[in-house]
Amino acid sequence: MSVFLILLIVTFAVAAGVALVRGLMAFHHDAEQIRRGADPLLIQHGVRQNRMMMQRVLFQGIAVLLVALLGLMVAKG
């Protein structure tokens, strides 16, 4: 069971990292559109980056809860 939890923790940690990178890339893309003079009414500033950052927080939270669960399992022995 511990090995399964460790694999889940690693999976969610990697997913949080991927969501972070995707959010930063979306932020960069939005900044490039603003620099190029795109019409602010036609592009959705921040929608994609906010979605990615919310996913990051979700994945990170799940990973932390799994670490706490693993710690409880180890403490019970």
> What is the pLDDT at residue 42?
62
Q: What is the pTM of this model?
A: 0.82
Residue 48 has pLDDT above 90, yes or no: no
Q: Categorize the per-residue pLDDT at 34 as very low, low, confident or very high, splitting at 50, 70 and 90.
A: confident
Average pLDDT of 41-50? 75
Residues making up the chain, counted from first to last: 77
For residue 77, the SS3 value is coil
Question: Going by C-beta distance under 8 Å and a sequence separation of 6 or more, which residues neighbour residue 5?
Answer: 66, 69, 70, 73
- State how far Cα 59 lies from the chain centre: 6
> What is the pLDDT at residue 12?
97
> What is the pLDDT at residue 40?
65
> What is the pLDDT at residue 6?
95
